[in-house]
Amino acid sequence: MRINALYVIIKLVERCNLKCSYCYYYTPENAEVYQRPTLMPDACLDDLIGYVQQALLQAPVRRVVFGFHGGEPTLAKAAKVRSFCTAARERLQPHVDVDFTLQTNGVHLSEDWLQLISEQGMGVGISIDGDRALHDRYRIDHQDRGSYDRVCANLHKLQSLDPARPIRLTALAVMGEGFDGLAHYRHLVEDLGIRRIKFLFVDNTADSPLAKPELEKLSQELCEVFDHWLLHDRNRVRVTLFDTAVRGLLASHYDRRGTRDRVTMGFALLSDGRIRIQDDFMIASDWFWSQTELNVRTSAFTDYLHQPHLQQLLHELSHVPKACQDCRFAESCAGGEPAHRYSRDRSFDNRSVYCEALYRFYSHVEARLGAGSRILSERNELPAMTTSAA
């Protein structure tokens, strides 16, 4: 196994200035968050750099990405983060590429934070759940005020940063209740000028199956957005879900699949120094909360690598689940996100809770790619891509 990138989620601030209705972090199961330091101590950040230095000696890693997360990381002073970035580059960059990202709700971005983002060329993920009415239905502050106007004001500041130091700005949009695919997409692209979008499925596992009409509606919304993007925006807007589907289908069809022994691996560092598997898997609650307790001060990266939970997760990421092996999209979809496949009885060996929507969406994308390849074939530019019957 080779690690293409090590993604380190830094829980810089363990509190948030919003109380989003669908938040997975501030739940009764994670009540211990209120017992941890609100702000990660500088000593813990220093320990992290040493931990990663040792990791580079223990496993081949090409790139390290530090992601500032929370809570809401911009509640910390930018000067604190700047000191960490400087130290991380000085101590690690002779041996590995180092990058930084920021996941923010976009409500609070000081001028110092904006300058830091530009200086470091940070990738920035900003959460926007549609137009004002939809966004403010879910993403409210502790005074029950909507956050849309404040988020858009800071989005425009990010878009106005020095073009000589470009940042990668991505809108994260949850496809929750009220998601109106095409209207939502066009608002992000045409009204807000977004050029990178990551649509997120609502956190669900196979233990909580969704109603068939809900899945049908979701797939229809995605297909409509894909067609619009394909016709109008494919050369100027990047949508992560569409990239994944297109690349997977083409690689599968033309037998260009790479080996599955290269992974992007991640872990989260909590403000008290504990290390654990990233938050994506918190919805697999009984599995997630039974992982081995590790600490950045007292453990090594190999301890994290060898813990049973991570080994199981790496297996899931590198193998198509048995439940999906007879599907014609087994190699291209690969079962979707592992967390969405989890159940208490069968662990991750299930179809995704979103399987029906994914199947319809992949069938639609496959048909569009097939039509496009036939046109190119007629021009003698590419062999025709055949599609299978649904």
Q: Residue 253: what pLDDT? A: 80
Average pLDDT over residues 330-337: 92
Q: Residue 389: what pLDDT? A: 46
* DSSP codes of every residue in 134-189: HHHHH-BBTTS-B-HHHHHHHHHHHHTS-TTS--EEEEEEE--TT--HHHHHHIII
pLDDT surpassing 50 at residue 73? yes
Return d(Cα 261, Cα 308) in angstroms, integer.
18
Pair 183, 209: CB distance under 8 Å = no
* DSSP codes of every residue in 268-318: EE-TTSEEES-GGGTTSHHHHTTSPPEETTT--HHHHHHSHHHHHHHHHHH
pLDDT surpassing 50 at residue 117? yes
Percentages (nearest 5) of helix, strand, coil residues in the chain: 45, 15, 35
Q: In what order do the strands lie in the sheet with 196-200?
A: 238-239, 196-200, 168-174, 123-127, 97-104, 61-69, 2-11, 262-269, 274-276, 294-295
Residue 375 confidence class, pLDDT cut points 50, 70, 90: low
pLDDT digits (tens, 9 = 90+) for 279-291: 999 999 999 999 9
Q: Residue 163: what pLDDT? A: 80
Residue 370 confidence class, pLDDT cut points 50, 70, 90: confident
Average pLDDT over residues 51-59: 92
Pair 278, 268: CB distance under 8 Å = yes
Tokens 């800071």 found at: 154
Average pLDDT, the chain: 91
* DSSP codes of every residue in 24-50: SSSSGGGGGGGGS-SB--HHHHHHHHH
pLDDT surpassing 90 at residue 60? no
pLDDT surpassing 90 at residue 387? no
Q: Residue 384: what pLDDT? A: 54
Average pLDDT over residues 194-223: 96
Residue 376 confidence class, pLDDT cut points 50, 70, 90: very low
Residue 259 or residue 109, greater confidence: 109
Pair 66, 122: CB distance under 8 Å = no
pLDDT surpassing 60 at residue 373? no
Residue 63 confidence class, pLDDT cut points 50, 70, 90: very high
pLDDT surpassing 60 at residue 71? yes
Residue 97 confidence class, pLDDT cut points 50, 70, 90: very high
pLDDT digits (tens, 9 = 90+) for 273-328: 999 999 999 999 999 999 999 999 999 999 999 999 999 998 888 888 898 999 99
Average pLDDT over residues 365-387: 64
Q: Residue 390: what pLDDT? A: 42
Alpha carbons within 13 A on the beta-carbon side of 66: 28
Average pLDDT over residues 252-260: 67
Q: Residue 262: what pLDDT? A: 66
Residue 371 confidence class, pLDDT cut points 50, 70, 90: confident
pLDDT digits (tens, 9 = 90+) for 123-182: 999 999 999 999 999 999 999 999 999 999 999 999 999 787 778 999 999 998 889 999
Beta strand pairing call for 274-276 and 294-295: antiparallel
Q: Residue 29: what pLDDT? A: 86
Query: Which stretch of 20-29, 96-105, 190-199 has the lowest confidence by average pLDDT?
Result: 20-29
Return d(Cα 330, Cα 322) in angstroms, integer.
10
What is this structure's pTM?
Answer: 0.91
